[in-house]
Amino acid sequence: MTSDPEFPDDFRADLANLFLWRRDVRRFKPMPLPEGALERLLDISSIAPSVGLSQPWRFVMVESAGCRAAVRTCFERCNAEALASFGGERAALYARLKLAGLNEAPCQFAVFADRTTQQGHGLGRLTMPATIEYSAVMAIHTFWLAARAEGIGMGWVSILDPAEMATIMDAPPEWTLIGYFCVGYPCENHSLPELEREGWEVRRASIVIRR
């Protein structure tokens, strides 16, 4: 047994600041990550909590020009469909938003959740199988915070067709797409999300219901 670690006030303040400055980055500098940085962040993501210690996340690194071009084509079509679903001022605002960093981000990957994984022996997911996907999201968030602590930005590209993305990534049929991510050094840093700065939405306090 090891003694409990102590987290002093200044550490907790720094941690809260890290949460505050974690942003969904869309504008990246055209410079690669330092050697070993990606591997280090992936190692940190592996300690994220997962149901039954299943670790169902599957990181698919997207490095070829052809694969990245296919992802951009998928995004452009889905983005055009999304734009058409809005009207009036909301459509104009949507068109102004930068919703992907696919052209500039030096590192890009897709994350899938494998519901058929035998790791964890099914513990904790018989009645709530979606905990497999939740676990993958926890790994993503752990990666995201660790990256921000090193000054590395990350953006979640969600305007994509999951079935088409699975085909592009040549993913097994039992894998579920969680998201596509761009990683690199941000062009700028903000304590407020872009959607809030542009007037799309405002952050609200968590909804708490007591029974």
CATH number at residue 61: 3.40.109.10
Asked whether residue 26 is assigned to any structural domain, the reply reads no
Question: How would residue 10 be classed by pLDDT, with cut points 50, 70 and 90?
Answer: very high
Question: How would residue 156 be classed by pLDDT, with cut points 50, 70 and 90?
Answer: very high
CA atoms within 13 A on the CB side of 175: 23
Question: How would residue 202 be classed by pLDDT, with cut points 50, 70 and 90?
Answer: very high
Flag whether pLDDT at 1 surpasses 90: no
> Can you read off the two tokens belonging to residue 140?
């993503």
- What is residue 4's predicted lDDT score, i.e. its pLDDT? 87
Q: How many domains does the chain have?
A: 1
- Please, what is the Cα angle at 182 between 178 and 188, to 5 degrees? 130
Flag whether pLDDT at 133 surpasses 80: yes
- What is residue 2's predicted lDDT score, i.e. its pLDDT? 76
Tell me which of 149 and 4 has the higher pLDDT. 149
Asked whether residue 47 is assigned to any structural domain, the reply reads no
pLDDT digits (tens, 9 = 90+) for 159-186: 999 999 999 999 999 999 999 999 999 9
Flag whether pLDDT at 135 surpasses 90: yes
Please name the helix (run of DSSP H) or strand (run of DSSP E) that holds residue 175, with its range, or none.
strand 175-184
Q: How large is the average pLDDT for residues 131-148? A: 98
pLDDT digits (tens, 9 = 90+) for 188-197: 998 889 999 9
- Looking at this protein, which amino acid is placed at residue 63? E
Flag whether pLDDT at 42 surpasses 90: yes
Cα distances from 115 to residues 26, 31, 47, 149, in angstroms, run 30, 36, 19, 31
Asked whether residue 125 is assigned to any structural domain, the reply reads yes
Flag whether pLDDT at 3 surpasses 90: no
**Minimal CA–CA distance to 116: which of 31, 32, 55, 175?**
175
Is the whole model's pTM more than 0.85, yes or no? yes
Question: How would residue 80 be classed by pLDDT, with cut points 50, 70 and 90?
Answer: very high
> Can you read off the two tokens belonging to residue 35?
């050697």
- What is residue 90's predicted lDDT score, i.e. its pLDDT? 93
Asked whether residue 23 is assigned to any structural domain, the reply reads no
**Whole-number mean pLDDT of the chain?**
96
Asked whether residue 15 is assigned to any structural domain, the reply reads no
User: Structural domain of residue 113, as residue ranges?
Assistant: 53-197
Radius of gyration (C-alpha) of the chain in whole angstroms: 19
